[in-house]
Structure 1
Amino acid sequence: MSTTTARPLRADAVRNRALIVDAARRLFAERGLDVTLHDVAEAAGVGVGTVYRRFPDKDALLGGLLAAKYETLVDLAEQALAEPTGRQALRSYLLGAMELRASDRALSTAVLRAAPQTQEAAELRERLHRVVEEVVDRARAEGAVRRGFTGEDVPAVTSMIGSIADRSRDELPGAWRRYGLLVVDAVCPPDGPLEPLAGSPLPAPTATSCVVSPS
């Protein structure tokens, strides 16, 4: 009875996989989750068949990217825990997570809505939850966080700021920082004078943008 072992990927296959993953990460960040595998193939400079051999469908590709996004957030939360106080840890994580979401419009959608596609993603999501709760608990023990705020509120808060970033990305790409700081100050005020808000308020929607077209 013979046995078979998986052969390592050839150098060109490894290169193509890296091109595909890098292109997908960039496209999802720029355009959200409506990207197709054909879009990824074109951006990666490979044939669409090459993409399908590595990732049979978009869910498989998204699963790999989702795991990477969770891992990035876990790293951010663990770095925040190294801050000298719980207040600094929570403010550091919130602002860092908002910055990640502002630079990647797919992040919020993937983390909040897309079910984990792999065991790796599920394990990373659970790890992220534990570490973020630890960050919040440290701040709570110091009396530095608004009563009732929990780690489960964090994804919604970052999503709110992400919506502002998406709206203002083309005209005022840094506008989210103004509102991110407002939210962080409300959740976990600084230990000292409040910093001045960065930037200027977003312009109010125009009258025409509020008009609903007749059906």
Structure 2
Amino acid sequence: MAAPATLRADARRNIELIRAAAVQVFRERGLSVPLEDVAAAARVSKATIFNRFGGRVGLIDSVIDEVVAVELLSVMEDARSIQGVRERVHAYVRATRKLQYSLPAVNDVLLQEFPDSEPLMALCHAADAFHDELVAEGHTAGILADGVTPGDFQALAIDNALALKHARVHPSRGDYDRRTAYILNGICAPSD
């Protein structure tokens, strides 16, 4: 892609229209939405997306921060700021599942749908590192059930992502939150 300063005004405008459309469409429907839908929302051709971004992965890389990265990183940072380990685990699981429910692109990230996207994979690696940290703290504090591993946090998120992405019927928010409580009761040791 040419440097923005060397682009004609109409080309710069198209780039901004495509980015804005991608942010909206990806946030509403996920990163796997047909590029034709992004092009239609931007009122450009699909070829223009390829010319300006090189395809889906280039477009994802260009907008990932606005679509999902800020929210995912914020969930981890917010959890880190909570004093009690049990409360930290609960807040993290609830916030992650809330994002999965309300922001379809989160599920595409967690499922690593686009492994050629370096920013997307960086989010996955950040989550893996956070899971390592959270599980170590949880076992040290004695609040996690025996045998819970960082991989269990990842598997729970992936299972949820698959269920939300492929379910014929989206669960009601009440049912979904009730199931979140079941998960927390399963991974956390009973409190005294």
Aligned mates of 1:32, 1:39 — CA distance in 2? 12
Report what 1:48 is aligned to. Answer: 46
Aligned mates of 1:116, 1:64 — CA distance in 2? 15
Deviating more after overlay: 179-188 vs 29-38: 29-38
Q: TM-score scaled to structure 1, two decimals? A: 0.69
Question: 5+ unaligned residues in a row in structure 1: which ranges?
Answer: 193-215
Aligned mates of 1:107, 1:134 — CA distance in 2? 21
Aligned mates of 1:173, 1:19 — CA distance in 2? 33
Aligned mates of 1:89, 1:190 — CA distance in 2? 15
Aligned pair 1:72/2:79, yes or no? no
Aligned pair partner of 2:34 in 33, 36, 46: 36
- Taking structure 1 as reference, are residues 117 and 38 closer, same or farther at Cα in structure 2, changes over 3 Å only? same
Report what 1:154 is aligned to. Answer: 153
SS of residue in 2 equivalent to 1:80: helix
Report what 1:62 is aligned to. Answer: 60
SS of residue in 2 equivalent to 1:135: helix
Aligned pair 1:81/2:73, yes or no? no
Report what 1:195 is aligned to. Answer: none
- Taking structure 1 as reference, are residues 46 and 136 closer, same or farther at Cα in structure 2, changes over 3 Å only? same
SS of residue in 1 equivalent to 2:44: coil
Contact in 1 for aligned 2:75/2:95 (Cα 8 Å): yes
RMSD, matched Cα = 3.1
Q: TM-score scaled to structure 2, two decimals? A: 0.76
Aligned pair 1:141/2:168, yes or no? no
Contact in 2 for aligned 1:30/1:105 (Cα 8 Å): yes
String of CA shifts for 1:115-137, please: whole Å, max 9, x gaps: 43244444443232212221222
Contact in 1 for aligned 2:115/2:121 (Cα 8 Å): yes
**Higher-Rg member (1/2):** 1
Report what 2:101 is aligned to. Answer: 102
Partner AA of 1:24 in structure 2: A
Aligned mates of 1:61, 1:47 — CA distance in 2? 14
Identical residues among aligned pairs (%) = 27
Question: 5+ unaligned residues in a row in structure 2: which ranges?
Answer: none
Aligned mates of 1:160, 1:65 — CA distance in 2? 26
Aligned mates of 2:105, 2:119 — CA distance in 1? 19
- Taking structure 1 as reference, are residues 109 and 122 closer, same or farther at Cα in structure 2, changes over 3 Å only? closer
SS of residue in 2 equivalent to 1:113: coil
Contact in 2 for aligned 1:70/1:128 (Cα 8 Å): no
- Taking structure 1 as reference, are residues 112 and 34 closer, same or farther at Cα in structure 2, changes over 3 Å only? closer
Aligned mates of 2:25, 2:190 — CA distance in 1? 36
How many residue pairs get aligned? The number is: 187
Deviating more after overlay: 115-124 vs 8-17: 8-17
